[in-house]
Structure 1
Amino acid sequence: MLGGTEFVGRAIVEDALERGWEVTVFHRGRHEAPAGAVSLIGDRTAPDGLAALATGSWDAVVDTWSAAPSAVRDAARLLADRVGRYAYVSSRSVYAWPPAAGLAEDGPLVEGSPDDGEVPYAESKRGGELAATAAFGPDRTLLVRAGLILGPYENVGRLPWWLGRIARGGPVLAPGPRTLPVQYVDARDLAAWTLDAVAAGLSGPYNLVSPPGHTTMGELLDACVRATGADAELRWTEPEALLAAGAAPWTELPVWLPPGEMYDAMHTADVSRALAAGLRCRPAEETVADTWAWMESLGGIAPQRPDRPGAGLTPEREAEVLAALAKE
């Protein structure tokens, strides 16, 4: 596992260990690897940073890297003759904008290069795909094109923000409609599917997110209220009113996008290929409850990746939007 100490990587490592697999984790040493994994320390962005991987052989490698594609290129080249398969956790962001509603894996893609340095996220992930495939060949490379990822260990701040906000109680700005379907994948379901796919010898791209309609904004936020046990009042507000009040979808109101182009891109993916290959998604209630339990074990505050801006409305901004809506 390249990485493996936080969020998706950690979920993959823990799942592999539970299966009784022998797991080696290559990481920078900033966080402890899960107990039972062998740690190799190195920084793939530094000169000679891959030295710890110079020897050894493995059945498979899983890589979640999302920055410069050249880092995937260098690791994949180094490991190509000593590893059986390469699973690269990519993103549905690799599809050319705007992705059509119901887009499958054969949709048009953004440009990318395995030799790129720091480039925007979509190009980074596409370059990573090309780097892995160039080194291992299409028959030994699995491309896991994840959508929105939630669940325990989340360090991006989307579901943790909702849980933290609802735990504070009081009137909560809830973006509607309540019945709006949302797509995401629990990191643990992504982990289980990826390891099953590696074991089965699958290759090529797979959209990896829950089926359309797996849950709704109403079900997700209601589950947050139940998990936290908070005295919170969800004030459901229609998209038009929210946009008129200046509330920003996705950033100020995590997970939520109003119906339209961005919603189609994020919440309507065709995942029939992954479902046929065994994808199973746990209920939203379980994802929410387990994420809250994890947050409580940390004192109610989830860690935040330093390279990602914090999500969600500030208390002052939420009060401002609620006040603006009350005047209508």
Structure 2
Amino acid sequence: MRLLILGGTEFVGRAVAEAALARGWDVTVFHRGRHEPPAGTRTLLGDRTAPDGLASLTSDLTSDLTSDEKPAWDMVVDTWSAAPSAVRDAARLLADRVDRYVYISSRSVYAWPPAAGLAEDGPLVEGSPDAGEVPYAEAKRGGELAAVDAFGAGRTLLVRAGLIIGPYENVGRLPWWLGRIARGGPVLAPGPRSLPLQYIDARDLAEWTLDAAEAGLSGPYNLVSPPGHTTTGELLDACVRVTGSDAELRWTDAETILAAGVEPWSDLPVWIPPGELYDAMHTADVSKALAAGLRCRPVEETVRGTWEWLESIGGAAPQRPDRPSVGLSPEREAPLLSD
């Protein structure tokens, strides 16, 4: 299989590249040159937001990928999450050079508030393939529409991911918990301990996406772990075991944490107390993806893989410049530990 990744040097794109290389696929990454691409890929440089920034996708550099009348690539994977017009331009350019377009979208495309157990047929936010910079949900929906407009519904796979964690995470959620627990001592642990969580390991997302695209699947798929795949307690316990820390998890009820002004999701990453936001993030219907072969590794493997990656780069995770940093400061945590 011949795969083109728009990106391919960070987090989800890198996971897709490494999974494809492990299968023996021919992998091309189109990126801006800010990060080293995975070894074994071929590189096309360009900035899709700049005038003529897509030129390398049609240059002679692709000539060795073509034969007879075949498209240059069997599929393209696009993780773009900013202006939908960038997806539009790339998709239009590639429509006769690629068999299938895979757009890594988000469950954020569902109209708020998404009901508990929402499947792929739920109501969606408005979006436009021609939009510039817009809020995240509209950007992802616009990206979906742009891909479908250029390739048609039958040649477009829309991967609506939920919370993504795992090695190479550059948003900081699981890395923050691992760093905090590695420091040891009492740790504020948000209850309830048994609260189920849904997420997808970037490596599992990559494997499913490549399988699905190779099988010719199209349309939208919610992609997170099944409900009850793990819990808050299991996630944080795994962080303690994997880091070898002497951390003591101090389980604290949600009411106490919220009363102290601590923000779910941002101050305490991953955690959301029961309620409307929790239903939106951690109760997705993923039966369609499961029927199409989704397999999710145990939480311990996700935590261990992320910790090993962090140790390999010196412990400090990279941070995406377009996302705010997350995590509770020691000064704000301390009063809740002393009560």
TM-score (norm 1): 0.98
Q: How far apart, CA to CA, are the structure 2 residues paired with 1:320 and 1:11?
A: 39
Q: How far apart, CA to CA, are the structure 2 residues paired with 1:213 and 1:294?
A: 26
CA shift, 1:321, in A, is 3.5
Structure 2: runs of 5 or more not aligned:
63-71
Structure 1: runs of 5 or more not aligned:
none
Q: How far apart, CA to CA, are the structure 2 residues paired with 1:238 and 1:211?
A: 25
Matched, 1:108 2:112: no
In structure 2, the residue matched to 1:76 is 91
Give structure 1 regions of 4+ aligned residues with deviation exceeding 4 angstroms: none
CA shift, 1:184, in A, is 0.1
Counterparts of residues 168-179 of structure 1 (less than 5 Å):
168-179=183-194
In structure 1, the residue matched to 2:65 is none
- Structure 2 counterpart of 1:287, one-letter code: T
Q: How far apart, CA to CA, are the structure 1 residues paired with 2:74 and 2:27?
A: 10
CA shift, 1:313, in A, is 0.4
Q: CA RMSD in A?
A: 0.7
Q: How far apart, CA to CA, are the structure 1 residues paired with 2:332 and 2:257?
A: 13
| 1:283-315 deviations in Å (ceiling 9; x for gaps) | 000000110000001111111111111111011
Q: How far apart, CA to CA, are the structure 1 residues paired with 2:301 and 2:173?
A: 16
2:251 to 236, 259, 282: 236
1:123 to 133, 138, 156: 138
Matched, 1:87 2:102: yes
CA shift, 1:322, in A, is 3.0
Matched, 1:156 2:171: yes
Is the CA contact 2:32–2:46 (under 8 Å) kept in the aligned structure 1? Answer: yes
| 1:67-88 deviations in Å (ceiling 9; x for gaps) | 0000000000000011000000
Is the CA contact 1:246–1:321 (under 8 Å) kept in the aligned structure 2? Answer: no
Sequence identity (%): 81
In structure 2, the residue matched to 1:37 is 41
Q: How far apart, CA to CA, are the structure 1 residues paired with 2:122 and 2:251?
A: 35
- Structure 2 counterpart of 1:22, one-letter code: D
In structure 2, the residue matched to 1:295 is 310
Matched, 1:26 2:30: yes
In structure 1, the residue matched to 2:17 is 13
| 1:156-199 deviations in Å (ceiling 9; x for gaps) | 00000000000000110000111000000000000000000010
In structure 1, the residue matched to 2:74 is 59
| 1:226-245 deviations in Å (ceiling 9; x for gaps) | 00001101000111111112
Q: Secondary structure at the match of 1:23?
A: strand
- Structure 1 counterpart of 2:231, one-letter code: T
| 1:15-50 deviations in Å (ceiling 9; x for gaps) | 000000000000000001101100000000001000
- Structure 1 counterpart of 2:144, one-letter code: E
Q: Secondary structure at the match of 2:114?
A: coil
Q: How many residues are aligned here?
A: 324
Which 10-residue stretch deviates more, 59-68 or 312-321? 312-321
Q: How far apart, CA to CA, are the structure 2 residues paired with 1:152 and 1:61?
A: 22
Is the CA contact 2:250–2:337 (under 8 Å) kept in the aligned structure 1? Answer: no
Q: Secondary structure at the match of 1:61?
A: strand
Matched, 1:185 2:189: no
Matched, 1:305 2:320: yes
CA shift, 1:319, in A, is 1.3
In structure 2, the residue matched to 1:314 is 329
Q: How far apart, CA to CA, are the structure 1 residues paired with 2:265 and 2:138?
A: 21
